[in-house]
Structure 1
């Protein structure tokens, strides 16, 4: 006759064993498995046995270990901040962690990573990138490290996504305008019209670049000069995210130049971050875990002769773009956001709709030099701003969803093992 369980509610919940009607309590035979196990145990298997001293000690040690683990798990997360100088700009990383030792170890690794990235990716100081460009100018192939190869492949994707507006092969043109420097505003002489026309006639593009499986890079156009500054902040932020995960840290806010990345679960408390503009701050956005906000502008890095000759060059005209004052793109893919913010600067207000459609860019804004804000519905719903509505123009998109999307599907970046 089967038995049943019920819960009796009093001062607390507890299980009560109930016999079926008419049944009397009696000792039932053990299953064969229990009989075999009981032969290995002292005393009657149906009666409580006495614990030996060794057993009691083991139970006490296990209890202490369990309580210690629970204490560590329940410790509140504390904010810890670290600052670094990389790519000629300041990086600030805010961690939420219960262990200062984990934070210290993570910051040590991040510092070493930034040193590696700086000396490997630099577009004008001696680096793997400059050695690659020297080889390409001679018509020779050059094998690059895995992270550089990955950066170049992503730059090729960005070139295709933006219909050539994001062109990492135009390093010579960028250098000719004096933007291969960390000192702004740029004081050097601007290139002549003839020099600009000559550089344009060479037509370097990322479709001229080829990468073998072993990381050997070659180019069919000797005018190709790789400059990956336009995606380095998003890529490096993703590297930091992966490093933090190795140290068991899963909540953080990463500031790197004009780039901000929130690390953590999407349903965690969001981080409120500012959206920059030439006049200061345009507004703020609540950044959820897994989201990145890439911002670009011509108001900090520009030529001394004119504030609207910023460091982002339109490779179609050969001149610094003058269409946009600032852009911001929100995405769950940090490299995509970085590329899109740069391309949108070049596209300008007249090209915003086409670029948004082509890149499936649902959360973006562009501030024109006339002070007018062009913005997608998804970004408008997220932006806290006091800008009057008569200075806002909505750029239609089929969805207002900014993400984060499926962050697990995002292809991880390469974190070098030898830094």
Structure 2
């Protein structure tokens, strides 16, 4: 007999691994990056799969330490040096992250901006702990920081030495590092002979291959409830990343302040509940999902085109769903179909 095996994949996605459950499926859960990372490997002996995933777990812990913006580590040391107006030699594996983050910052017209760590901290979103209902920061304090215009293009990278033209830059890779780590993990698994796997970091994932003759079937969680909004089948090599404003937020005197900050205003983004993208690269998908939330209903098609993302689903707070034609071909809504607008990219 066959049986269905389902795996809850965290914050914004539900992955249902559809097919015949066999002993060659191996799953391990790792807590890192402030979230649960699920690694599922199919088609190789369990002892080999366990060894490969154990290697990933060790590497993930090293990345988490090195890339944390406020704790001791490579990125924390860089931020301290920037605040003091000096350059610093950083670990070699941090430089590619900074370069790719800068490239995505430029492609997004600055809407994906890891340099606004000070703004993130100002709103209290720099902590792993639940938010405490604190009042929002004073408008004049936010305005002063926004006026200094910190951006990734302020960084000066010369070999492994990094400095900044702007002391208000504080690099926070939280909207990008998980995607980069997922890409690294898939590359590592492939290098070690794994052809079929899912690496899911807190609801954002990259899948390769398939589960036997069946595709990986991914459920996109409904941003206004606990159910599934839509299902997407993945077979081959694709990443699905979602950025949303409905699970991590601060609420003060009945007003909700989501954690995604618009770098142009210094204010939490309102009006968009979530953005889901499908792309071949996890880091690019991760950054794009955040940028498109910030872009909002009017600007997301232009920013998606600039970032090379052709499969996008944006959900407004009023429940209206916007999709590119390419995404509409892949999405199967579950339950009652929401109002949908199909928007070609310019």
The TM-score, its normalising length taken from structure 2, stands at: 0.88
The match for 2:248 is: 301
Could you report, residue by residue, the CA deviation over 1:251-303 in whole angstroms, capped at 9, with x for unpaired residues? 10111013111022799642001112322321110012210001010111111
Q: Is residue 200 from structure 1 mapped to residue 117 from structure 2 by the alignment? A: no
Q: Is residue 102 from structure 1 mapped to residue 48 from structure 2 by the alignment? A: yes
Distance in 1 (alpha carbons) for counterparts of 2:213 and 2:179? 22
Distance in 1 (alpha carbons) for counterparts of 2:99 and 2:211? 28
Work out whether residues 179 and 186 of structure 1, in 8 Å CA contact, stay in contact via their aligned partners in 2.
no
Using the TM superposition, name which of 122-131 and 337-346 deviates more: 122-131
Distance in 1 (alpha carbons) for counterparts of 2:203 and 2:255? 18
Q: Is residue 229 from structure 1 mapped to residue 174 from structure 2 by the alignment? A: yes
Q: 1:116 aligns with which of 37, 41, 62?
A: 62
Distance in 2 (alpha carbons) for counterparts of 1:315 and 1:340? 15
Q: Report the secondary structure of 2:237's partner residue.
A: coil
Work out whether residues 274 and 314 of structure 2, in 8 Å CA contact, stay in contact via their aligned partners in 1.
yes
Distance in 2 (alpha carbons) for counterparts of 1:269 and 1:307? 45
Using the TM superposition, name which of 273-282 and 374-383 deviates more: 273-282
Using the TM superposition, name which of 368-377 and 303-312 deviates more: 303-312
What are the within-5 Å matches in structure 2 for residues 9-408 of structure 1? 78-213=24-159, 215-264=160-209, 269-278=214-223, 279-280=225-226, 281-305=228-252, 308-386=256-334, 391-397=339-345
- CA offset at residue 380 of structure 1? 0.8
Q: Report the secondary structure of 2:97's partner residue.
A: helix
Distance in 2 (alpha carbons) for counterparts of 1:267 and 1:164? 42
Distance in 1 (alpha carbons) for counterparts of 2:146 and 2:123? 13
Work out whether residues 125 and 131 of structure 2, in 8 Å CA contact, stay in contact via their aligned partners in 1.
no
- CA offset at residue 96 of structure 1? 0.6
Distance in 2 (alpha carbons) for counterparts of 1:220 and 1:267? 52
Work out whether residues 117 and 170 of structure 2, in 8 Å CA contact, stay in contact via their aligned partners in 1.
yes
Work out whether residues 85 and 167 of structure 2, in 8 Å CA contact, stay in contact via their aligned partners in 1.
yes
Using the TM superposition, name which of 262-271 and 303-312 deviates more: 262-271
Could you report, residue by residue, the CA deviation over 1:65-84 in whole angstroms, capped at 9, with x for unpaired residues? xxxxxxxxxxx871000000
The match for 1:34 is: none
Q: 1:331 to 1:182 in 2, by over 3 A?
A: same
Could you report, residue by residue, the CA deviation over 1:108-165 in whole angstroms, capped at 9, with x for unpaired residues? 2111111101110011222211110010111111111122111111110111110010
- CA offset at residue 191 of structure 1? 1.0
Number of equivalent positions: 322
- CA offset at residue 307 of structure 1? 6.8
Comparing both chains, which one has the higher relative contact order based on Cα–Cα distances under 8 Å and sequence gaps of 6 or more? 2
Work out whether residues 124 and 131 of structure 2, in 8 Å CA contact, stay in contact via their aligned partners in 1.
no
- CA offset at residue 335 of structure 1? 1.2
Could you report, residue by residue, the CA deviation over 1:321-376 in whole angstroms, capped at 9, with x for unpaired residues? 11310110100111111111000110111112221232232100100000100111
Distance in 2 (alpha carbons) for counterparts of 1:207 and 1:216? 15
Could you report, residue by residue, the CA deviation over 1:57-107 in whole angstroms, capped at 9, with x for unpaired residues? xxxxxxxxxxxxxxxxxxx87100000011111111111133122112112
Distance in 1 (alpha carbons) for counterparts of 2:62 and 2:213? 32
Distance in 1 (alpha carbons) for counterparts of 2:138 and 2:235? 46
Q: Which runs of 5+ in 2 are unaligned?
A: 1-21
Work out whether residues 273 and 316 of structure 2, in 8 Å CA contact, stay in contact via their aligned partners in 1.
yes
Using the TM superposition, name which of 224-233 and 244-253 deviates more: 244-253
- CA offset at residue 390 of structure 1? 6.8
The TM-score, its normalising length taken from structure 1, stands at: 0.73
- CA offset at residue 189 of structure 1? 3.6
Distance in 2 (alpha carbons) for counterparts of 1:193 and 1:291? 41
Q: 1:169 to 1:195 in 2, by over 3 A?
A: same
| Pairwise CA RMSD | 2.0
